Structure 1
């Protein structure tokens, strides 16, 4: 009787093992995808980043600008990083993933999410580190994983740019206060001598 139960369970155990193995293979492909994308970002070579972008991708960057496809991503990156009107001198990012990609469509579609530790040096001379959150939908077509959509965001209420703006406001307020005291003192002395 035990042998019959084992034989009855064998097909289910085989299917479960096959499913787990298939998912592990997909997650290994996605780990490789992440490493290769990070390497392309480190090189800051736009031509090496574009193959990771699906032709119909929609990408929303941390400045709330959305672009479409590899050409849109390339134009955005060129505008931000190249030419006389560029905004960013240097940038770097380290991507972290919160958990395994959530798979759909038999392992051909995945939703991934996590955070990143970012560094920016702006052309205005401001340098800062920030923490970002991101989500991405990945699709596998013709044996290749690509980003179908991605969204990057920063904390609206606690971020380095807001902190810098607050600090500059305090400096301006302090300077204005001291200047007002000095002008008040000088004008008092000037009017008291006349009287």
Structure 2
């Protein structure tokens, strides 16, 4: 039986460009990843702002201002600790770590606000951030590592155990949490997808800054 996560996935896939996914409907704005010319400084900005977002998500599910968020504690998809290790590695390699910047701070503030007042919208962001990172996020990480890190795989792109199984466990939880939502709440969750892509793309663009 299909659950609400299938609807979330269908809407998310349409937000991709045709070269990113078969179901993509968006026109590409910039060059494809293969043609990117990233810098270590830009990549560090991306990692720092990503950490702000993952810190916020992980704090929210721990504090659980809405009881349903407690379902998503310790899923195995958490990234905050891994990003800390990566930033320490860059520091030891002699790079200076930048301060967090506007895209990460703006997204963090928005997630905090949603988590308190709008669970369906917050869950939309939770789903898209974690699931996108295991898919397109990994591809981007690999391409960037080939160009500027001598193919080093960062902790950000390593998980304990089977990623498909971790994702499946979270899908089950997402379907369970959304099963008590009205159709209106489900539609509201789906409508938030575009915003989640906009915020994430702002952070992603830091790689090329």
TM-score range, shorter chain: under 0.3
**Looking at CA atoms only, which structure, 1 or 2, has the larger radius of gyration?**
1
After TM superposition, the score normalised by the length of structure 2 is 0.25
Q: Between Structure 1 and Structure 2, which shows a larger proportion of helix residues?
A: 2
After TM superposition, the score normalised by the length of structure 1 is 0.26
Q: Which has the higher contact order (CA 8 A, sep 6+)?
A: 2
Q: Between Structure 1 and Structure 2, which shows a larger proportion of strand residues?
A: 1
